[in-house]
A and B are shown apart, each in its own frame.
Chain A
């Protein structure tokens, strides 16, 4: 455990708050001070509101003093990716298009966190409209990786992973469409969980690719992930893909669900292109589970090579449709160069969107356009069925799959200029979104140059309890989460 408040876990801080050894105002002040100290170097936040956070903290302290604590998140500062709506606060998606937008309502996850007593702390940088794998696509500038600020924190939820790793929040939320929680978690040495599609409401999340998007937590430990997931999961009638599943006690499941488990190792995830140091660290994690009596089986996901292409057809098609709403009429940037009403659309969009967003809108419009729909979009949806069947077939024999999260550690800001090279960052995470599965990235070591490495565990649909317990068993026997960046 760190002696520094801002590096401690939710579980540990909740105990200290309950024991009156600490107040939420003190904790929030420590996080605010830390944020001021490191932001010039990290730039994880697009905006924050200190007075608002301290007022929430004071209200939390009053609840605890009156014996009315809402639970372990009461008084804990949690940062939100700047694609999740909080009433009265800016919501930009890191885009010039929404530079001045203020949320008129709360996302469902925001409502749930407020109900749990969390101190909502700031809006975190990301790739514009969550499109990217490095947070370099933000209209407000890149975020630095706390382990080496000249490197990227991953993306698209790079502000969420960097803020947590740097001690600027105790937990954060991100969104994951193709790996946007797990990959930045791996690159910043924290835990990142992408829940089963439909477990967490998307109401109030700025839509990128609606059939793939899912909100999830970044935390220091698997136990903290279980705590946050328990607070944000659950059916919501305002999201028609939200599932009526019973929400178990994820935290209790960490110890009640015991192995040994059967773990599958998909051979396609250890092929060429994987950094040898990452391969070695993940092999050690496999050896750990084996030493605990788990059965390790090689499995095959034969359509893995088609995941990236399937994803870029489906995600861009959905994005081109979702982003049609940014037309400069009702909200968002409106061009003053336009001559007539129709001209407003094209110029507002040209001025408001950055290059990666434009590229994806163009690609998505193309694959949906007359004459190409069957060849691209419909075909990709069929291949998606095969990709999902691969996973479900593998799960007949194993409880979870163990893979690397990212083929490479954090790379230098500006290093990957070619869009296609950047798209390859997501090769191990994309299949999970296409199949709608839950997956978690947990820290599993460091490269020789001191950069964090993450291992990904992929679970069966709706079996987050099992997935978290498997991850917890590994984490408990290792001390990766007790290491912090020094800067």
Chain B
């Protein structure tokens, strides 16, 4: 983290499953380069022996009784599906 690393926008967009246009790629790479440059100052902080904080609530694990609760009906669960048939969500063929 000594200097702002180059952000490989094609690689990251692929990982994020975002089909960016060439124009978006150029613009985001420049803008995020500025943001990353700013973020570089985190490297200055001495974090030796410091535990990470995932969230500030004093809760670390939660157990619940394994009891069935009322859930959504099939109709409610499928209400927002982009395409459906016979109580199933339709997607294009995955394997030929």
B residues 17-73 near A (Cβ < 8 Å) are 17-21, 24, 28, 31-32, 34-36, 38-39, 41-43, 45, 47, 50-59, 62, 64, 72
User: Are A365 and B16 CB-contacts (below 8 A) given A197-B56, A197-B57, A385-B51?
Assistant: yes
Could you give, for residues 373-386 of chain A, a 1 whenever the CB lies within 8 Å of some chain B CB and a 0 otherwise?
00110111111111
A77 on the interface (CB 8 Å rule)?
Answer: no
Pick the contact of A383: B32, B34, B45, B59 (CB < 8 A): B45
CB of A69 within 8 A of chain B? no
A34 proximal to B (CB < 8 A): no
Residue A346 interfacial (CB < 8 Å)? yes
Q: Which residues of B contact A350 (CB under 8 A)?
A: 18-21
Chain A residues within 8 Å of B21, by CB = 350
Q: Is the CB of B58 within 8 A of A243?
A: yes
- Set of chain B residues within 8 Å of A241, measured between Cβ atoms: 55, 57, 59
* Interface membership of chain A positions 331-359, coded 1 if the CB is closer than 8 angstroms to chain B and 0 otherwise: 11110001011011111011001010011
Question: Bound state CA distance, A220 and B89, in angstroms?
Answer: 46
Which residues of the other chain, B, contact A372 by a CB distance below 8 angstroms?
5
**In the complex, what distance in Å separates the CA atom of A5 from the CA atom of B40?**
52
At the interface, yes or no: A369 with Cβ under 8 Å from chain B? yes
Q: With contacts A102-B79, A327-B17, A341-B92 known, is A419 near B39, CB below 8 A? A: no
A420 at the interface (CB under 8 A from B): yes
| With A241-B59, A243-B59: A366-B52 Cβ-Cβ less than 8 Å | no
Partner of B94, one of A331, A341, A418: A341
Q: A363 to B24, alpha carbons, bound, how many Å? A: 14
Contacting pair B82 A362 (CB below 8 A): no
| Chain A neighbourhood of B45, CB < 8 A | 303, 306, 379, 382-383, 386
Known A309-B39, A309-B41, A362-B16; contact A341-B93, beta-carbon cutoff 8 A: yes
User: Does A460 sit at the interface, judged by CB under 8 A?
Assistant: no
**Residues in B neighbouring A240, C-beta threshold 8 A:** 59, 62
- State in angstroms the CA–CA spacing of A343 and B89 once bound together: 17
> What residues of chain B lie closer than 8 Å to A101, measured between beta carbons?
80
Of the candidates A303, A327, A366, A418, the one having the most CB atoms from chain B within 10 angstroms of its own CB is: A366
CA distance A197 to B55 in the complex (A): 8
Interface size in chain B (residues, C-beta < 8 A): 53
- Which chain A residues border B83 with CB–CB below 8 Å? 334
Q: Tally the A-B contacts, defined by beta carbons under 8 Å.
A: 173
CB distance from B72 to the nearest CB of A (A): 5
Contact flag A330-B92 (CB < 8 Å), given A241-B59, A362-B12: no
**A414 close to chain B: CB less than 8 A:** no
Q: Is the CB of B18 within 8 A of A329?
A: no
Interface residue? A310 (CB, 8 A): yes
Output the nearest chain B residue to A309 by Cβ-Cβ distance. B39
Complex CA gap A313/B50 in Å reads 18
Contact of B54 with A211 in the complex, beta carbons under 8 Å: yes
Residues of B within 8 A of A435 (CB): 56
Q: If the complex has contacts A327-B17, A385-B50, are A362 and B32 also in contact, measured as CB distance less than 8 A?
A: yes
Assess the B47–A382 pair: CB atoms within 8 A.
yes
A358 touches B15 (CB 8 A): no
CB neighbours (8 Å) of B94 from chain A are 340-341
Residues A362 and B55 in contact, CB atoms below 8 Å apart: no
Structural contact, B32 and A384, CB atoms closer than 8 A:
no
**Contact at B53–A419, with CB atoms within 8 Å?**
no
Given A378-B52, A383-B47, does the pair A104, B79 have CB atoms closer than 8 Å? yes
Q: Chain B nearest CB: distance from A366 CB in Å?
A: 5
- Whether, in the assembled complex, A8 has its beta carbon less than 8 Å from a beta carbon of chain B, the answer is no
User: Is there an interface contact between A198 and B57, defined as CB atoms closer than 8 Å?
Assistant: yes
- Decide yes or no: A362 and B42 within 8 Å by CB, A312-B35, A375-B1 being known contacts: no
A292 to chain B, nearest CB (A): 31
B50 x A363 contact (CB < 8 A): no
A259 within 8 A of B: no
Selected A-B contacts with CB under 8 Å, 8 pairs = A104-B79, A310-B42, A313-B39, A344-B91, A361-B16, A362-B7, A420-B38, A436-B57
Taking A346-B17, A386-B50 as given, write out 5 further A-B residue pairs in contact, using a Cβ cutoff of 8 Å, ordered by the A residue number: A237-B62, A349-B18, A350-B21, A385-B51, A419-B31
